[in-house]
Every structure is written in C-alpha cells, then in structure tokens.
Amino acid sequence: MTDRGTATTNPWVALRPGEDAIAHARTVLRAHGTIVGASGGRRPDGVRSVVHDSWLRSLQRGIDPDLVAQPALLSGHELEQYRVGHPMALIRPVVRKLLVEDAADSGLLVAISDEQGRLLWVEGDHSARDRAQTMSFVEGADWSEDRVGTNAPGTALALDHSVQIFAAEHFNRTVHEWSCSAAPVHDPTSGRILGAIDITGGSRVAVPEVLQLVRATVVAAEAELRLHMMTSPHLFASSAPRLDTFGSGRPTLRTGGEQTYLSQRHAEILLILADHPEGLSSDRLAVLLDESELDSVTIRAEMSRLRKALGPEHLGSRPYRLLTELDTDVAEVRRALDRGDAASAVRIYSGPVLPGSDAPGVEEIRDDLRTRLQAALLRGGDSDLLARWTASIHGRDDLAAWSAYLTTLAPASAQYAQVKAKIDRLDRQLAT
C-alpha cells in the first residue's frame, strides 16, 4: 500500500521513523490551507489519503474549520449518569493502569469516548488538560468527525480503524498544535463499536510506537470486557440483539456478531413489539400491521414463521410480546434525544424507519421519531446540524428546518442566498 511519496508506508501512521516532524508539519499546513481554503481539490503531495478523504468529508458536512462548537455538551449529573452506565466504564481501570498512570507531568492526555465520539473521560497531565479546554477537548464534548472534522478519536470511529492525526492534519485550525493516536474498542461478542481510546499531546504522539501502545491497550480492554461478559452478563447491554430499520436497505437483525436479513413484515412485527413491551393481543397487533385488519389466522401464521426464524425463546404469545431484550436503531436515536444529544441523533438517523412500510404502527413510530428529531434541531439552532439535515433525503423539503438554517447564516454570504432561494421554491410548491 502506498501513500506519501512513493515509499510503501502504513497510511494510518502519521510520522515515519526518522521523518522530520517540523518539515512535515509545514507541508501538511500548506496542504490544509489549499484544500480547506478552496473547499476541496485533489490530494496534495505529502498528505495521506486517509487524511485527505476525511478533510473532504468535513468540507461536505459544512464543518467550521475555525471553531469547535459544543452546543450539546454533557456535564454534571447528566454526564455522570450517562458514562457510569456505559460499557466503556468497565474498561476505565485498564486504561488508567496502562496509560493514565504514566501520563502525569508528561504533557499527554488520555481520553475514552463512546461509540458516537462523545468524550466520557479525559485524564492525564493537568496543564495539558487546561490547554485542551480552550478547544473544548473536555469530558462530555462531542469529538465525532461529524462535529469537529478530522481528529483521531472521531476519525477512528468513522472508519472503524486505529489512526493517528498529526498537527495540521486536523481539520479544525484550533487543534493544529496537537497530535493524537486513537483506536476503536469493540464488543467482543457482536463486534459492534463501543467507543474509542485516544492519546493526545505533541508531535511525539504521532510516531508508530504510540499507535501500537493504544492498540495494545484496546486488546487488553476488550479482554476485560470479555471477562465481564462471562462473570456479569447483565452489566453488558450490548449483548442484546439489535434491529436496524433505517434507510432503504433490507432490515437486519444483528446477534452475536452475525446478521440476519428480515422480511419487511417480520421487521414490522419486531419493531412494533419492541415499542410495546407490555405485549399486544392478536387483534391489536393486526390493526397496527394493516389498517384493513388482518385476521387472527394470518397473524398466527406470521408469528409462527418469525418464531422459527428467531427461536421460540424470544417470542411469547397471549399476548404477543418479546421475551428477551431487543435493541433497535429507533431506540438509539430516542436515547440520544433524551440526553439532549441532537448531533448523535442526526448521525445515527439514516432513516426513515422502514420506508417501504405502510403499517399504521410503523408509520406512527416513523412520524414520531422524525418529529422529535426535527423539534430538537429547531430548538438547538445548530447551523452544522441544520445544514446536514436539510441536505439529507428526509430533510431536504423541511421548510421549518430550512427557515431555521437561514437564521444562522450571514445575510451577505453566498450560502444565505442559496438557502433563501430554496425556501422560496418550497413556498411556491406548497402554494400550488
């Protein structure tokens, strides 16, 4: 695999052995100005493809290269309650033992994030923590790639791969004095990303040995998670099967690292039952699946086929209900909205929910989720999130969101004129 120059290199490592860090920093800084200033372009010499691709994603999302805004910062009791209940809390003792204990007076920070890029813990050198506050690299902040652009923990989660980001390789200019190495942590059973471990500091963080250290820590952390699963499985929420319903792809049930594609009808039943943990009678389930009211014989036949596909231990009858825990992408968005994290909710929501379904129960879930998400965006007034929402298939005709987006823009900007023109078109369409 080739990247910088013609030498065979590891594209995930920022500095090659013996490379002049100062000279390379100048090269990357010039390239950053070229790409970010021109809103794109071909990859300049001396820039890794993984970095260039991340810059382009950041540009496409309209991320501000000069500001790290954190409108959905978690703090206080809300943050404590969230992170204590997160699976990454189980690996914190391992991370502290292997990384944090040696970080004091070193100029280094060690961060643990959740699967969406929210920083759960930031520990290490006290003076470095104070300096990091100026760029909002703090506990409770969202450091996903969607929020702040190219950075090691956010990009590692976006690509599901360990990575280093050196100096001006960061999309945001306020982070250019820092370098970082990060790697994702996975559920040892299902393979689902749980979060990331990151080391942040000066240029010495960008050498291969530091990335190797982070990856070794991840191996130890995942072994710790596996032990917790064996001894206390009830503490490990991610062991539950998960139903994915968003977007135009086939609905999928993920269990223990395996995925099963479901028929639309079976996905409808599981989603509706997950939304009614108390259970549903045959007649009520029939109404929620079809306005013309399916007969009880058809319902029994569908449930029988679903029980054979999943196993009888998962579905009960009289009333029909789930006997085991089932997570859903719908529930994940709701949890993000409940904790005020609109950024994560927008990122997760690749919706709409089962777009090909006209089952009344699914339509109710679909409409309610979209309404809640829209309300959170309008209430938050975040320009980046509104830009992403209005650019998506589910928000491109959302007049209220476009109008809210317009209020965040400078009237003299070209973007303001484009958004105003879009609003005028929507107004004309609604008037006809």
pLDDT tops 90 at residue 345: no
pLDDT tens, residue by residue, 172-182: 999 999 999 99
Confidence of residue 268 (pLDDT cuts 50, 70, 90): very high
**Together in a domain, 132 and 193:** yes
211 found inside a domain: yes
**Together in a domain, 113 and 175:** yes
3-state secondary structure 336-385: HHHCCCHHHHHHHCCCCECCCCCCHHHHHHHHHHHHHHHHHHHHHCCHHH
| Mean per-residue pLDDT, 39-46 | 78
Domain end marker among 187, 207, 234: 234
Supply the CATH number for residue 310's domain.
1.10.10.10
**Together in a domain, 140 and 122:** yes
Q: What is the reported pLDDT for 80? A: 86
**Together in a domain, 116 and 170:** yes
Domain interval for residue 103: 21-234
Confidence of residue 3 (pLDDT cuts 50, 70, 90): low
41 found inside a domain: yes
Q: What is the reported pLDDT for 239? A: 54
| β-strand pairing of 242-244 with 327-328 | parallel
pLDDT tens, residue by residue, 275-301: 998 889 888 888 999 867 677 788 888
**Together in a domain, 194 and 282:** no
Confidence of residue 395 (pLDDT cuts 50, 70, 90): confident
| Mean per-residue pLDDT, 195-219 | 92
pLDDT tops 70 at residue 197: yes
pLDDT tens, residue by residue, 17-41: 878 889 888 988 888 888 887 777 7
**Together in a domain, 273 and 300:** yes
Q: What is the reported pLDDT for 400? A: 93
Cis check for the bond before 352: say yes or no (omega within 30 of 0): yes
Quote the pTM value. 0.57
pLDDT tens, residue by residue, 351-382: 789 998 999 999 999 999 999 999 999 988 88
Domain count, the chain: 2
* Residue type present at position 387: A
**Together in a domain, 124 and 58:** yes
| Mean per-residue pLDDT, 385-411 | 89
DSSP label of 432: -
Q: Which residue has the higher pLDDT, 127 or 37?
A: 127
**Together in a domain, 317 and 247:** yes
394 found inside a domain: no
Cβ contact 43:49 at 8 Å: yes
